[in-house]
Amino acid sequence: MHHVRHTGHNLKVEMYHSKSMYTTYGSGKETSEATSFKAELFESSAVSFIVSELVTNAAFKNRKSVAFGSSFVDTSNIAPSTPSIALDSSLVSKVEEILLGAYGIMSLEYLAQPGRSVALTHIIQVQNDDANAWYKAFIHAHSGEIFSVTDFVSEATFTVVPITKDAVTEGEETLVDSEDLTSSASGWIASNQTAGNNVIAYKSSQSATTSQSSADTFDYPYDTTLGPTGGSNIDAARTNAFYIINKGGAEDDRVLMSVQDSGGTNNANFATPPDDQSGTCKMYIWTLTTPNRDGSLQNDIIVHEFTHGITNRLTGGGTGRCVQTTEAGGMGKGWSDAMAEWTEHKDSSIPDYALAT
């Protein structure tokens, strides 16, 4: 599957996604190894190198394999595993200039190409906080050409109609012991800051978190007569953003939640790098009213953006880039909207209804 992307400084790349296959086995296929099964992240490898962006999935029931899917490719036509072009400072500078950012994490991986070929690539992550840009660039290790780019950032623009407990104007509540003791046996707060296992909520720098107002208490009512930066409203924003996002998950890649971010207005975005790297959510001030409003106190915006992180991370596994095409991106927007609606649903009944009768 191909699609063209325009990004950075006049860069045009043709994206390629290998064709996937999916097989079901009816009532199940006997598999001796399936005495127990735990979901894992599968990665394709060849010649001791990772083949980037290829994923597989398997389903088991009653110790039988019932389904298997994969986007793996034939590696018989694979490029040499030793780069003929080094990733030196001049090549890095070229990539930074084209993608208008500064480089970060680098690696060497294979990438599937049309015609059943597999290319060796230098991978560079390029980030520009001011432009809300974060890319994963694939540079051909035998030609030096940038021939594929993954954009980690999902953005959204909203015309917001408040729903039940959607916004601060509909009232705040004081919640006690919000954590699930199964997943957070020691509670959410160890440092007495808005910094937990799953998110750190801050403004401007990661050290600018909100401290407890008293022992294990974060009580900062939002004053709607003031702007987002007035009184204790910054603390209210960080506390609310922390509460919404800090639920469940493994360690070492907590979300970086930047409230009242200075990089824009009237918007929000979420950048989702691969598993084991922190995603970044940027919440902006909305300037369409006086006083201005804070997106971090609008829960549907927070949930919408966080769902981008979930779906970009989980669709295709922690390293896939399956939500990059226009159609897939549209589905991602729909998933985010649906999750935002669902979290505010209070009625336990779900009635049937008819459409287009």
Euclidean distance between CA atoms 165 and 151, whole angstroms: 33
The reply, when asked if residue 308 is annotated as ligand binding, is: yes
DSSP summary character for residue 170 = G
CA 122 to chain centroid, in Å, comes to 22
CA 81, 84, 89, 92 torsion-angle sign: negative
3-state class of 276 per DSSP? coil
| End-to-end Cα spacing for the chain | 37
Beta strands 44-46 and 49-52 are antiparallel
Euclidean distance between CA atoms 142 and 120, whole angstroms: 7
Q: Name the packing angle between helices 299-314 and 326-343 (round to 10°).
A: 130
Euclidean distance between CA atoms 139 and 144, whole angstroms: 6
Beta strands in 81-220 (DSSP E): 102-113, 117-128, 133-140, 146-151, 153-156, 199-202
The reply, when asked if residue 6 is annotated as ligand binding, is: no
Do the beta carbons of residue 118 and residue 110 sit within 8 Å? yes
Choice among 53, 96, 109, 305 that is catalytic:
305
- Among 145, 143, 127, 147, CA closest to 135: 127
DSSP summary character for residue 20 = P
Euclidean distance between CA atoms 4 and 314, whole angstroms: 24
Burial classification of residue 18, based on how many CB atoms lie within 10 Å of its CB (0-12 exposed, 13-18 middle, 19 or more buried): buried
Copy the structure tokens of residue 83. Answer: 């780069």
Do the beta carbons of residue 6 and residue 97 sit within 8 Å? no
97 catalytic per annotation:
no
The reply, when asked if residue 3 is annotated as ligand binding, is: no
Binding site, by residue number, is 155, 304, 308
| Catalytic residue annotation | 305
Binding site for Zn(2+), by residue number, is 155, 304, 308
